[in-house]
Copies of this chain bind each other. A is one copy, B any other.
Amino acid sequence: MSVEHRRGTSAVTVLGADGVPLADTDVTVEQKRHAFAFGNIGFDFIPLANAETDGEGRSSAFGAASVEGLAELSELWFDVFNTATLPFYWRGFEPVEGSPDTDRLLTAARWFADRGVTVKGHPLTWHTLAPEWLTERPLDEIEKLQRERIRREVSNFAGVIDTWDAINETVIMPVFTAERNGISRLARSIGRIPMVRLAFEEARQTNPAATLILNDFDLSSAYECLIEGVLEAGIHVDAIGLQTHMHQGYWGEEEMLAMVDRFARYRLPLHLTETTLVSGHLMPPEIIDLNDYQIPSWPSTPEGEARQADEIERHYRSLVGHPAVQAINYWGLTDDGAWLGAPGGLVRSDGTPKPSYDVLKALVKEEWWVPPTVVRTDAQGQLTVTGFFGDYELSAHGRTARIELTPDSDTGRAQLG
């Protein structure tokens, strides 16, 4: 698919610091950021951001690389990605009631934000990894605590984290039986749509500027039915989240885009919130819950890495080519500490990039990117900027200006300062 709809052109009049157009001047144009969200989890870097030197603060289950080598790994991260997902799994975030891990996560979120990264919190409401201390509380108390927890996190992180998975995996939530938990009990009692309403309303009221996402792994008609019910109920959803953990194999462009088309008909932005493609053997197809596949070692292999690189390229090309897709969040940069021990990273456990990393970087930062380019203004001080939507820096005579290329920015002015 073409990615031309992601690109724009703007006729920009460049002004000097004195406000006078800079005629016939060499200006360096350089892209600084994609508008499209090329995301990845940032779980691994919480210790680095907090200057922790041991592994004590190491978070569990998803993305927990060793502390050694995190600085180098972070450079690989920032070279490709512009959006970080941070973990707010309630069980880990508030292991003891009343003692949330706010400071540590806030430090990590600011560490990303200071580096120009959009930070997203995941998730505010989920049955899995709900606190064990919540499980047997009365239902009205569970609802009250869930509401309070949403307000607390959204409020404490506002301005740093303004994008949230408001609720995760609602389709299975009330009928989830793998582990007794308080959130499934509540969902079974009040129903799915009231759960979604609860999550979105609390978050929206607390941070009206937030981007709030409905996220699920179930991409069947069940999710369509849920979305249709949620929208009919008048709940304001900013984006539809689609998980695509492909430990059992890449679906191919055709199947992936047919799925995307099904959800695009709700005319909301689509976020591919969780994407995994492995560079080792595939998980057997008969596994239903990916968590049920536990093996002692799941190595990355040369053949697997070649396949993964090819699939990463096809996956990103096809999805960036779909107009409804606004974000692709990959699920883990490194194999070290990866979810399920799967070789789903773009970097090996030893810190060396796999071919998939190079392929993705070449797309995001070369083929779809404008490197520093000298452009000469005309007699009116005008030049043309063409490239992927996003942020661009113009510089001349040691001064710089920033412009944004958007679908609506046919013309613009940039005053160097």
Give the residues in chain B near A175, CB-CB below 8 Å.
Answer: 221, 224, 262
List A169-223 residues whose CB lies under 8 Å from chain B.
171-172, 174-175, 188, 191-193, 218, 220-223
Give the residues in chain B near A193, CB-CB below 8 Å.
Answer: 228-229, 232
Given A223-B225, A229-B233: 7 more A-B contacts, CB < 8 Å: A171-B225, A172-B221, A193-B228, A221-B222, A222-B222, A225-B229, A226-B228
The 9 tightest CB contacts between A and B, nearest first, are A229-B229, A222-B222, A225-B225, A225-B226, A221-B222, A193-B232, A232-B233, A191-B228, A222-B225
CA distance A382 to B171 in the complex (A): 56
Main DSSP-derived SS at the A contact region: helix
CA distance A229 to B223 in the complex (A): 11
Size of A's binding interface in residues, CB under 8 A: 23
Give the residues in chain B near A223, CB-CB below 8 Å.
Answer: 225
Most chain B beta-carbon neighbours within 10 Å: one of A172, A175, A223, A225: A225
Contact with B along A377-404 (1 / 0, CB 8 A): 0000000000000000000000000000
Closest-by-CB residue of B relative to A266 is B191
Residue A230 is within 8 A (CB to CB) of chain B in the complex: yes
CA distance A272 to B262 in the complex (A): 30
Residue A265 is within 8 A (CB to CB) of chain B in the complex: yes
Seen from chain A, the residues whose Cβ lies within 8 Å of a Cβ on chain B are 171-172, 174-175, 188, 191-193, 218, 220-226, 228-230, 232-233, 262, 265
CA distance A221 to B174 in the complex (A): 9
Q: List 7 A-B contacts (CB under 8 A).
A: A191-B232, A193-B229, A221-B222, A226-B229, A229-B229, A232-B232, A232-B233
Give the residues in chain B near A192, CB-CB below 8 Å.
Answer: 224-225, 228
A203 CB to closest chain B CB (Å) equals 19
A44 CB to closest chain B CB (Å) equals 33
CA distance A191 to B221 in the complex (A): 12
CA distance A232 to B192 in the complex (A): 10
Closest-by-CB residue of B relative to A175 is B221
CA distance A283 to B162 in the complex (A): 53
A95 CB to closest chain B CB (Å) equals 30
CA distance A62 to B172 in the complex (A): 35
Assess whether B262 is in contact with A221, with CB atoms less than 8 Å apart. no
A228 CB to closest chain B CB (Å) equals 5
